[in-house]
Structure 1
Amino acid sequence: MALVMGGTGEKRGSAVLDGSAAARAAARLSRSGIPCRLGARPDPAGGYAARYTVRVRELTAEWIKHDQIGGGSTRHEPEHDSGRYADGLHRRLEKAAVRSLYTLGAEEGEVVIAARPGRRYVVEELRFQGSPGRAVMSAKADPAGRGSRLSPGGAEAGAGASAGAGPGAGNLLLGMDPEFILMRDNGEVVHASAFMERGGLAGSDAVRFRGEVIYPLAELRPDPKPQPKELLRELQRAMREAYALITDRTLSWRAGALPYTDFPLGGHIHFSGVPLTLSLLQVLDNYLALPLALLEDPQGRVRRPRYGFLGDFRRQSYGGFEYRTLPSFLISPFVTKLSLAIAYLAAKYSDLMPARPLNAERYHRAYYEGDKAALRECVPGWHRDLSALPEYPRFACEIEKALSYIESGRTWDESRDIRPLWNIPSMP
């Protein structure tokens, strides 16, 4: 980690987001689970809080400046070899700043963050190049994708602009690590760590619960593959491994978003061979997270915004990234096939997927509040765009089945045991 005293090398000419634009941004950030005080009066209790300015570009923090009380500052930069910050605090600040800008449709700017006790933080100021008001997503975004959309810099771009990796993703590999939980008939959870080690094709996964790290979740980690059908076969192999390890056949396997209140579940999809961009994340949010929000058990919305927030990603050591917004699509083979199909199409053809309804306040709010009636307004444009893609016929069965379910208001049931759906024996 490089340390540079003072403010040399910082970008000049940035404008602070204020006024009505700051109020709109604050509402959007708060809804997304990001603590903020944009445009608010100074917090007397925060007078001695440590403050950091995080410069973000292309979904990474170029530098983090620690402003010293009484003047002066220390600037931190990522490690040269890894491109990562060595200090845990700096990694959390980077994540908070990137998430804040992404929520507003921008991938470049400066975020002033005050650190709070207990690994907490609050966003106090946002700065952008040019007109800062343009960085806040439009309240009139077109759910069908016919109108304007936001480019990675936050400005509007025409429908012909590139929105991501495009068809050139020839080295694409897809992976996943969806979770499930083990439950008795009386609703009691049995920790997966009672049967499974932490690593491996099928293993247990950690959560921090009441200040303690425990391993209640089961996680499947199939080998990555270039095609959804091949990855699905690897997933079934991981399920057979889990079946061999979980010897208590009386325990039901539950998946989805929130089958048990204390342990939200995730379905993370991994990508390599395709560049991570703001626009690719927007495609995944609008074409994958949105329809799954319509299909999920209504109780699942309680998982958001702490989990399942839009644009949630994590870079990986293999050079790719994982998209972390989705619930556990293990809830059924159909939902798994649908998720992998759209993930594949997004990675291959994101430049042909222009709709950004979640840029609009109406649909952004509907996503976090679980307003399915509003989100259904986006479905005709979603289906039209997907059906125009070159490889749509390969996945038409799953997508059109999803369209039928969404139109009829059908949702999955998180109280059921998923084993029968996957042809896994449920009794000795």
Structure 2
Amino acid sequence: MAKGSSSHEGLYFTWRIGKTCDAFRAFISKGKDNPLPISAKVHPTLKAINNLLKAKKLHREQAEQNSDFKKLKHRLEQELGSQFALASYRAMEKIELKSKDFDFEPVLEEFKAFKDDTAIPVDYFNYMKNFWLPWFFSKGCTHPKQFRQFRNQAELHVKTAKKRNGEKYSHNTYNVLCRTINQFMFFCEKYDYVGKEDTFKIWVSLTLEQQKRDHSENSRSEDVYALKDLEDIKIKIDKNYQEKPDMKLLAYGLYFGVITGLRRGNFAGMKAENLFPDAKIPYFLVRDNIISGRSRGKKGYITQKDATKTSTGKPIAVQMVQPSIEIITEVARYLKTHLGAKELLYPNKPGQIAKTWKRIAKECGFKYLTPLDWRHSYATIGAIHLEKMYKGNPAFLQRCCLHEDYRTTQGYIRTHAPEFLDVFSMPLFGG
């Protein structure tokens, strides 16, 4: 690491030698204190310098001759050489949550406790602290009762705010961003931090016209597994892992998650003892729900007994239906035969499910879709074959999807799926 000079006392630069380009670093030293390294993630000018070095693949000798680098370095020296530089940087680095009018820090903790009855109390806390409070502070607000005057601008903030990487927030996050500030204001009113006249709600939605104008790119896949895809996948698993029983067992375990459309947490908690392929009406029990502890402020994973996303306290029996009773019962019998009763269908961490399925898809030669797409596939196939598989009753499909309302199930049905075209080639039922 090579040191560089600066014309400002207490400010100095260093270079970190890299393979394709060097990195520029800055430090502020105040008296006998240890030098404070300036983060390129926090300071915009230092970030711009390193982006320049990376884009043009500049090493130190080349950079010091580059006019753009010289300009940015001079600006950085002026910014960090100011007598207020340290305080200014600290303001960038960490939000000051206590103002002369209001101490936000304990209130945020109370807000997190208030939302503890939801699945994402930590997310509410983080969105409020990192997304909303810095913006309201930038408007000069020192108390929640002042937030209301910026209600309209808050909606615009949701649409225009950018993440650290410079990209706009996905429109899929609009809902949670709006809900966070709405719930925070409701909390403040309920516990007398503000009056009723100070509260407000915002709502931002993406119109069809905005989508047509491509104001937002929906990165989520619209693809699903068709019925024939599911049948072909089993054939390819059988063929490819004929001499690899361990891999076949792993693939069959994941395949069961695909053909049942279970949420990842409930699939991760599925054990061999929960399968009943030889019952008069073959079924499986949805019991444990294994979820990430991050949104609940805990490390690792949490196991919720007899729970789904929308229910708790009792197991749910779900009939074995897709892709056919013959296929799903064959897979279930294989799993029960080769696994211990208490063994999980997928033995690794829930966070590895998608990665493992992707590897299996590549090895066996079928298309890879995410666990979320599995749920969409199940609902879509069920809608297409409603008469044959669910006796023509949407409520049966809704129940097998573990949804509280059929409108939720409708949201999972991908009507643009190519398999919908095949409906027109099917013989009419009863015809």
TM-score (norm 2): 0.24
Query: Could you say which structure has the higher strand fraction?
Result: 1
Query: Could you say which structure has the higher helix fraction?
Result: 2
TM-score (norm 1): 0.24
Structure having greater relative contact order (Cα 8 Å, sep ≥ 6): 1
